Homo-oligomer: A and B are copies of this chain.
């Protein structure tokens, strides 16, 4: 493993779980999620996420990109979405806590306009209390 990504080694591997989706315009539903962080010996991790419906496993969302530690715990995350959105997040890692904030977003001409999107993610691993925290806020950016 490249030493630049060693502080993020706790992320490596395949994470699976179940989520819940809701919004005023839709019926709430459950989904399965799989998130994979991998590396090839270079100073970045690849990142891929997929969600599937419960129970029929129909594909829902996916996204793919790269997580780049820079210096002093700083992080850069670049993600492509099949919805036609490109997301550039900046933040930092402190222990097993990642804090990321959307810096810029590009949308293709036909991407659905998203005014603001924010998520918070907490996870507990075997032998560890709830320490992992991932948070991002996306603001609308004109295409």
Contacts and interface: CB of A to CB of B under 8 A. Distances in A.
Interface string A69-88: 01000001011111011111
Interface residues of A, number: 31
A41 interface: yes
Contacts of A104: 106
A88 B108 contact: yes
A109 interface: yes
Nearest to A111: B76
A64 B42 CA distance: 16
B82 A68 contact: yes
A82 B46 contact: yes
A59 B85 CA distance: 27
Contacts of A70: 109-110
Interface in A28-59: 40-42, 44, 46, 48, 58-59
A76 B46 contact: no
Interface of A: 40-42, 44, 46, 48, 58-59, 62, 64-66, 68, 70, 76, 78-82, 84-88, 90, 104, 106, 108-110
Question: Which 10 pairs between the two chains have the least Cβ-Cβ distance?
Answer: A65-B80, A76-B108, A40-B59, A86-B86, A66-B82, A78-B80, A80-B80, A64-B64, A44-B82, A70-B110
